[in-house]
Amino acid sequence: MFEDVERLNSYLENTTDEENALLKRVNRETYLRETMPHMLSGHYQGRVLSMLSKLLRPQLALEIGTFTGYATLSLAEGLETNGVLHTIDINEEQEERVQGYFDESEFAQQIVYHIGDAAEVIPTIEGQFDLVFIDADKKRNLYYYQELIDRVRPGGLILVDNVLWKGKVFDEKPDSQTKQVIELNQTLASDPRVEKLILPIRDGLFVLRKK
């Protein structure tokens, strides 16, 4: 039905709320400066993340994989007034620019930006999470999920990005990285601790609600 993906994406973007000025700039500058700008969540997925966050109203949220901060800023829109969003990335070369975006936003006092290995940073963050967004090294997604599931409150959400892996999950002979994504999806689908569904947004977004 939707053979023209670009046309579909354009329609979806035109029927949702506009990006604010800061998000538009993050989007534009990411495509101008980054070698892999497709890693950006983008307009439509950003609005999905914002909507889920606003429905949940998290007091404590966690993002693994900041990149240039687009998803971070989108998720922050739903924070409670005194809520905090911790975001972690390994790439220190982007730190100054991305921190600049956060400082310009209305959520400057609510976003805590960590540079380092997420496996080492996560144990230093205290509290029970209301919302977790995993969008980092695909090889470690299952590890992050297993480490965090017990730290998410009942009714909280875990979101995992890139679970359709550009359609490669349907390959008859998947490569090693695709096999890891398939294993992740199968593990999440069979976990009785969560209600789950995949939204076919961009590269696939797994939405899991802790029971």
Mean pLDDT of 86-94: 96
| Domain chopping of the chain, boundaries | 5-210
108-146 pLDDT, tens digit per residue, is 999 999 999 999 999 999 999 999 999 998 889 999 999
**pLDDT value of position 167:** 86
8 A C-beta contact, residue 130 and residue 175: no
According to CATH, the topology of domain 5-210 is Rossmann fold (3.40.50)
**pLDDT value of position 56:** 98
Q: Over 70: is that where the pLDDT of 78 sits?
A: yes
Using 50, 70 and 90 to split pLDDT, how confident is the model at 3? low
111-115/129-134 β-pairing: unpaired
Q: Over 80: is that where the pLDDT of 1 sits?
A: no
C-alpha to C-alpha distance for 63 and 118, rounded to whole angstroms = 10
8 A C-beta contact, residue 23 and residue 46: yes
Phi and psi angles of residue 130, each rounded to the nearest 5 degrees, phi first: -95, -30
8 A C-beta contact, residue 168 and residue 99: no
Higher-confidence position of 76 and 5: 76
150-160 pLDDT, tens digit per residue, is 999 999 999 99
29-76 pLDDT, tens digit per residue, is 999 999 999 899 999 999 999 999 999 999 999 999 999 999 999 999
C-alpha to C-alpha distance for 189 and 133, rounded to whole angstroms = 17
- The model's pTM is 0.94
